[in-house]
């Protein structure tokens, strides 16, 4: 019975739940809502920094950015910027609109990745690197669930995920996994670095987001 209860608690959610802190529109700000958004984006950024410091393979979007730097001679920062602009253009046919959370995503995630890479030591052990990656994936899932449910507008990549989900009805986790696998493949073909951590992220991030969406839904009884 205890195992069944725990299994039910961690069951992935099929959609984005409506939470008590969800905004009615993407510029409806309140102190508590902005705090939850900021905390979620901070956890996301720190989780991503664990993947970097684990040194067993970066997240697919970072692989994509690296590949673009090799092909176009850009820095990773500029490559990430142009990729974000391109992904925002994909929002147009999906009917997604940017909001306060979209802009916060761009600034805060980058800030906390920088903080995390200066706090967490870089690993030379593959085993510890894998642990870093798994913890990082869980943190990115938690952070995503928190800031998406604020309703202040997802980041460029999550906006594409939720937009495709709403248009097609395909589960959030499956949409996210599909996007990550496509990005990973393109980045790898352009020369981006791929490793065990990259594969783990591509395979597990969709379920991580869906599981934490489910936890948020059950904790708020929605």
Let me know how many helices (H) and strands (E) the chain has, helices first.
Answer: 9, 0
Tens-place pLDDT, residues 108-144: 888 888 788 889 998 989 999 999 999 999 999 999 9
Q: Which residue has the tokens 């306060």?
A: 100
Q: Is 195 helix (H, G, I), strand (E, B) or coil?
A: coil
Q: Closest Cα partner for 144 from 187, 85, 94, 204?
A: 204
Tens-place pLDDT, residues 190-202: 988 789 998 898 7
Dist. CA 181–CA 173, nearest whole Å: 12
Q: How far is CA 149 from the centre of its chain?
A: 13
Instruction: Look at residue 191 in the predicted model and tell me its pLDDT.
Output: 85
Q: Residue 175 CB: number of other CB atoms within 10 A?
A: 23
Tens-place pLDDT, residues 63-118: 897 788 788 887 666 777 788 878 888 888 888 888 999 888 888 888 888 788 88
Backbone torsion region of residue 108, taken as left when φ is above 0, otherwise alpha when ψ lies between -120 and 50, otherwise beta:
alpha
pTM given for the model: 0.81
Q: Exposure of 132 by Cβ count < 10 A (0-12 exposed, 13-18 middle, 19+ buried)?
A: buried
CA dihedral sign of residues 88, 90, 91, 93: positive
pLDDT of 52 above 70: yes
Task: List, in order, residues 6 or more apart from 222 with CB less than 8 Å away.
Answer: 17, 18, 19, 20
Dist. CA 171–CA 151, nearest whole Å: 19
């Amino acid at each position: 019975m205890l195992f069944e209860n725990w299994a039910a608690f961690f069951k992935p959610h099929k959609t984005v739940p409506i939470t008590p802190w969800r905004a009615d529109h993407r510029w409806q700000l309140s102190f508590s809502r902005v705090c939850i958004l900021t905390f979620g984006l901070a956890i996301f950024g720190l989780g991503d920094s664990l993947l970097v410091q684990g040194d067993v393979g970066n997240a697919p979007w970072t692989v994509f950015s690296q590949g673009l730097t090799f092909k176009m001679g850009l820095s990773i920062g500029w490559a990430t910027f142009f990729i974000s602009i391109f992904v925002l253009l994909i929002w147009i046919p999906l009917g997604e609109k940017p909001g306060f959370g979209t802009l916060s995503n761009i600034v805060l995630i980058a800030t906390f990745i920088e903080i995390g890479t200066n706090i967490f030591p870089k690993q030379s052990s593959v085993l510890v690197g894998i642990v870093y990656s798994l913890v990082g994936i869980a943190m990115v899932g938690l952070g995503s669930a928190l800031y998406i449910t604020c309703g202040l507008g997802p980041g460029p990549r999550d906006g594409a995920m939720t937009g495709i989900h709403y248009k097609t009805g395909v589960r959030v986790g499956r949409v996210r996994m599909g996007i990550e696998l496509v990005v990973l493949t393109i980045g790898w073909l352009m020369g981006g670095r791929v490793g065990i951590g990259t594969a783990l992220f591509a395979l597990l991030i969709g379920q991580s987001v869906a599981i934490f969406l489910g936890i948020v839904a059950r904790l708020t009884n929605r």
